[in-house]
Amino acid sequence: MESQEQGEHAPLPLLTPYKMGNFQLSHRIVLAPLTRQRSYNNVPQPHAILYYSQRTMKGGLLITEATGVSDTAQGYTDTPGIWTKEQVEAWKPIVDAVHARGGTFFCQLWHVGRVSNQDFQPNHQAPISSTDKSVAPRLQSNGYDVAYFSPPRRLRTDEIPQIVNDFRLAAKNAIETGFDGVEIHGAHGYLIEQFLKDQVNDRNDQYGGSLENRCRFALDIVEAVTNEIGVDKVGIRLSPFAHFMEAGDSNPNALGLYMVEALNKYGILYCHMVEPRMKIVGEITETQDSLVPIRKAFNGTFMVAGGFNREEGNKAVAQNHTDLVAYGRWFLANPDLPRRFEINAPLNKYNRETFYTSDPVIGYTDYPFLETIA
C-alpha cells in the first residue's frame, strides 16, 4: 500500500506545501491549462466561474485555458482572449471566484501562429508564423472531422516587435483583470515554438538559423512581459521534445537547456515543461529523454506535465525531479482531485467526446464530487 511506502502518517509528496516566489501553495497539484472551447466569440462566459471555482482548493495553483493575445492569435472556435476591454471585464468574476476560494490563478498567454486558417483571422488574412510552410490537414479529436490550415505568411523582421508587444499588453491586461501572474505559452507547435524549433523555423534573419537566433523571439517576449508586470509573476511553458503540429527539433535537449539557462538571466518565477512522454489527444510522443538535466539547470520553480497519475506525481516530487505537477484530463474530470489523491479515492473517468464542445454544463461542470457519489 502506498501509505506504508510513504510512512504511516507522512503526507503525500504532492500534498506538501510549497513556496513559489511570493505564493504560498498548500499542495503541488496544479490545474494544467486546458482548452475547452466554451468562450463564445472569444469572450469568457459566466459558466467558467463555476468550472474554475469547482477546481480551486485553498492554496492551489490554477492555470487558465490558453488565452489569445490578439485578434490574429486565434485558431480554434470559442477560445478566450484577453486583448479587449470586454474580455478583461468577462474574466474578472472568474478570477474573483478563484480568489474567493483561496486559489492562485495564472493566465496562459497564447498565439497559435500557423495553426489556424483564414476563417479565424481578421479580414480573412493568412495566419502569421515564423515560416510560410503549412501544417498538413489533421484528424480532429472526435475521430472524423478534419482540420485544415491555411498557408501562413512569414512575419517580416520589422513586424516581430508588434507581436511581442501584443504579449506585453495581454500580460498588462491580465494583471488589471486580477490574475496573480501569466504563463507564456511556448509549447505544442504554436507561434513561439514555430520560432524555437528547427523543423519549422527556416528563417535567415536574426530570428532564424542558430539556436540563439531561434530562441530570440521567445526571450524578447519574456523580456517585454517581465518588464511590464515583474519577473515574480511570469512563468513559461515549453515542450522541447514534442512534435505536435509538425514542430520538432533536431536537438531538443540542447534547446531545452539553452532556454532555461537564458531564462535564469531574467529570474522568472517558473518553468512549466512537458515531459518527453507527452500525451495529447490523438497523438502520443514517447522517448528515452529526460527533463532531469533541464530541471537541474533551471533556478526557479520547476513544473512538469504529461500524463502523470497519482503514484507517478508523488514519485516525481519525492525524487526532486520537479516542484509541482500539472494535471489535465484527471483534473478536468475530478474537480476535487487533490482530495481524491489524499484519500486515494477512485477517479471519475473523463469523456474525450466532451473535451471540446460548446455545452456550458455537460462534460464541463457536471463531473461529480466525492460527496455526491453514493
Active-site positions? 190
> Across the strands, what pairs with 8?
none
Contact (Cβ atoms closer than 8 angstroms) between residue 91 and residue 48: no
Per the listing, cell 473517468 goes with 349
> Across the strands, what pairs with 138?
147
pLDDT (0 to 100) of residue 24: 98
Its pTM stands at 0.94
Contact (Cβ atoms closer than 8 angstroms) between residue 92 and residue 174: no
Per the listing, cell 489533421 goes with 138
Burial class (CB in 10 A: 0-12, 13-18, 19+), 58: exposed
Burial class (CB in 10 A: 0-12, 13-18, 19+), 266: middle
- Side chain identity, residue 24: Q
pLDDT tens digit at each of 374 positions of the chain:
444 444 456 789 999 999 999 999 999 999 999 999 999 999 999 999 999 999 999 999 999 999 999 999 999 999 999 999 999 999 999 999 999 999 999 999 999 999 999 999 999 999 999 999 999 999 877 677 889 999 999 999 999 999 999 999 999 999 999 999 999 999 999 999 999 999 999 999 999 999 999 999 999 999 999 999 999 999 999 999 999 999 999 999 999 999 999 999 999 999 999 998 744 444 545 556 789 999 999 999 999 999 899 999 999 999 999 999 999 999 999 999 999 999 999 999 999 999 999 999 999 999 999 975 54
